[in-house]
Amino acid sequence: MSELKKAIDQISKDRGIDRDLLIDTLEEAVRSAVARKYGETMDIEVAFNEELGEIEVFEFKVVVDDVHDPISEISLDDAIDHDPKAQLDDEMGFPLKIEDLGRIAAQSAKQVIIQRMRDAEQEIIFEEYRDRVSEIASGIIQRRDRTGWIINLGRTEALLPKDEQIPRERYKRGDRVQAYIIDVLKESRGPQVVVSRSHPDYMIELFKREVPEVADSTVKIMGVSRDPGLRAKVAVMSRDRDVDPVGACVGIRGSRIQNVVQELKGERIDIVVWSPDIAMYAQHALSPAVITRITVDDEEEALEVVCPDDQLTLAIGRKGQNVKLAAKLLGWKIDIFTESRYGEMNAARKGMDQIAAVAEIGMENFFGAGFETIESIVKATDEDLLYIKGMTESKIGDIRVAINMLAPGIFEELAEEEANAAEAEMTEEVMEAEIEIEADAEIEADAEIEENNAEEATETEESETPAEGEETK
C-alpha cells in the first residue's frame, strides 16, 4: 500500500471524514494546482488510482495541422510519434507528473486540502450536534466570553449565554458542567452549539435520566415552569393506574428528585398531579396552599381562586413566586382572593348580573367601565353610563327601573346617606367655627388679664417710688 493511500485511510479513521470525500478533495487540490501552473485552458483529468494508490493526472490535446496553442493542441507529426494510428482531430491524453507542478502549485494544493478537510470536519460536527438538539451535553468550562461561557465539548465548543444560565451560579475555568442543547448554528469559524441550564426542558431530561418511569413514558411530564435556581413546578401524570406519578419522581426518601435538585444547585421542585379539569389542575398547582373555591372563565382563560385568609401567603408565595409558577404551568391567568375579601366583593356585586341581563350587556363591560356595584350605577350620571360598551339612553332608563324593582328605596337610602353626610359635614364645620370663637374669646380674655396685670404693676411701682427730696429709710 502506498504512503498516500495509508494517509487517506488514517485521516478518514481519525477525523471521521468519509474516504470518498477525502479522495475528491485531493483530486480537486491537484486540479487547482495544475490550473495555477498551466492556466485554465489546459484540458486535464485527475483521478485516484486505487491499485497504485496514487493520484494520476492526464492532459488532453487535439491533433491539428498547424499548432496555435501548444497547451491544448498537438501537431499531427508529434501525435504520430506517440501513436502511429493518430489522425487529425483526435484527442490524445498524456500523463502529467505531479512532481513537475512546482513549489507554489504544491503549496496551493496543500492549502486546498487543509481547507476542504476543515470544512468537511465542521460539516460532520454540525450534523452530529444538530441531531443532538434537546439532549444533555457535558463539557469543561474553558473561558468567559462577552456573551457567556465557552464550554469545551471535545470535538467542538458550546456557548452558554448569560440569559441561559442559572442566576447566582458561578463557574471557573476547568469546572465540569452539564447543559441542555437548544440550538446549533453555522458560523464562519465552525458550528456554534448553544446550550442552556435554565430551560424548562432541561429539567425534563434530568428526570428522564433519574426516573425510569419517565424514561419509558409510563409517567409523562405534562409541563414545567421554573424560576431557575430557586423554585420549579413539574406537572406529571401516569399512564398506569398502579404507578403513582409523584412517588415515582420523588423516589424512596426523595433519592431521585434529590439528584435533580443537586444538579440544579438546590432549586426547590414541586411535583404536582396533572388533571384535564383546569380547576383541579389549578388546585394542585397552587399547593401547598389550601383552596376552597375556583371560578373558571374559559373565554378569557382566567381563574378566580378563593382561599382561607390564613392561606393567602402560601398561595401567593414569596414575591408572588408560587402563583406565578402556577399560572405559567397552567397557561392561565390566576387572581387570588381571601374568603373575607371574596365575600365583600360578592356582596358589593350582588344584583349586577340581573342589571346586566336587563341591559343585555355583558358584566365584563360594566366592570371594564369601572361599575362593579349597583350603588356605583345609581350615583353615576347618564353621561357616565354611556361609557359602558353597548350602552344606550333607552337601556339607561331600563336599568333605572330595574334598580328600583330589585332594590326598592335604594335611591332614597343613597339620598339619605348623602344628606346625613352633608349634615355631618355641616355639623363638623359648625363645631370648628364654635371652637374658633371659643379660642378667640380665650385669647381676648388672656389679653385683658395681661393688660390689667400690667396696670397694677405700674401703680405699685409708682406708690413705692419716694417723692422728690424725701429720704429713704
Q: How confident is the model at residue 426 (pLDDT cuts 50, 70, 90)?
A: low
How buried is 454 (Cβ within 10 angstroms: 0-12 exposed, 13-18 middle, 19+ buried)? Answer: exposed
Specify the higher pLDDT residue, 435 or 404. 404
The domain 350-408 is classified under which CATH number: 2.60.120, 1.10.287, 1.10.3470, 1.10.150?
Answer: 1.10.150
Lowest mean pLDDT among 288-292, 297-301, 349-353, 447-451: 447-451
Residue 310 main-chain phi, psi, to 5 deg: -80, 0
Q: How confident is the model at residue 321 (pLDDT cuts 50, 70, 90)?
A: very high
Cell numbers found for residue 83: 501513436
Nearest alpha carbon to residue 330 among 357, 301, 289, 310: 301
Torsion, Cα of 443, 448, 450, 452 (10° steps):
-170
Among 153-162, 196-205, 370-379, the range with the most confident prediction by mean pLDDT is: 196-205
**Residues 4, 53: contact at Cβ < 8 Å?**
yes
pLDDT digits (tens, 9 = 90+) for 4-60: 677 667 777 766 677 777 778 777 777 777 777 777 777 878 887 777 777 788 888
Q: How confident is the model at residue 404 (pLDDT cuts 50, 70, 90)?
A: confident
Among 385-394, 417-426, 433-442, the range with the most confident prediction by mean pLDDT is: 385-394
Among 233-237, 350-354, 357-361, the range with the most confident prediction by mean pLDDT is: 233-237
Q: What is the pLDDT of residue 203?
A: 95
Q: What is the pLDDT of residue 109?
A: 59
Cell numbers found for residue 200: 424548562
User: Rounded CA gap, 461 and 454, in Å?
Assistant: 11
Answer whether residue 472 shows pLDDT above 50.
no
Answer whether residue 192 shows pLDDT above 70.
yes
Q: What is the mean pLDDT of residues 324-336?
A: 94
Architecture, CATH, for domain 275-349: 2-Layer Sandwich (3.30)
Q: How confident is the model at residue 107 (pLDDT cuts 50, 70, 90)?
A: low
Architecture, CATH, for domain 132-196: Beta Barrel (2.40)
Answer whether residue 64 shows pLDDT above 60.
yes
Q: What is the pLDDT of residue 286?
A: 94
DSSP strand pairing (136-145 vs 91-96): unpaired
Q: What is the pLDDT of residue 123?
A: 81
Lowest mean pLDDT among 30-39, 326-335, 443-452: 443-452
pLDDT digits (tens, 9 = 90+) for 336-345: 988 888 777 6
Architecture, CATH, for domain 213-270: 2-Layer Sandwich (3.30)
Cell numbers found for residue 473: 429709710
Nearest alpha carbon to residue 330 among 222, 403, 255: 222
**pTM for this prediction:** 0.60
Q: How confident is the model at residue 387 (pLDDT cuts 50, 70, 90)?
A: confident
User: Rounded CA gap, 154 and 185, in Å?
Assistant: 17
Answer whether residue 76 shows pLDDT above 50.
yes
Strand ranges (E), 97-175: 136-145, 148-152, 157-161
Answer whether residue 435 shows pLDDT above 90.
no
**Do 350-408 and 275-349 fall under one CATH topology?**
no
**Fold observed for domain 3-126:** N Utilization Substance Protein A; Chain:P; domain 4 (3.30.1480)
Q: What is the pLDDT of residue 86?
A: 81
By three-state DSSP, how is residue 226 classified?
strand
The 10 Å Cβ neighbour count of residue 188 is 6
> Domain locations in the chain?
3-126, 132-196, 213-270, 275-349, 350-408
Torsion, Cα of 281, 283, 285, 286 (10° steps):
160
* C-alpha 407, offset from chain centre: 51
**Residues 323, 311: contact at Cβ < 8 Å?**
no
Lowest mean pLDDT among 115-119, 173-177, 290-294: 115-119
In Å, how far are 69, 327, 357, 363, 393 from 390, measured between CA atoms? 91, 32, 13, 11, 10
Q: What is the pLDDT of residue 465?
A: 47
Q: What is the mean pLDDT of residues 406-435?
A: 56
pLDDT digits (tens, 9 = 90+) for 291-314: 999 989 888 899 989 999 899 999
Q: What is the pLDDT of residue 54?
A: 75
In the predicted model, what is the mean pLDDT of the chain? Answer: 80
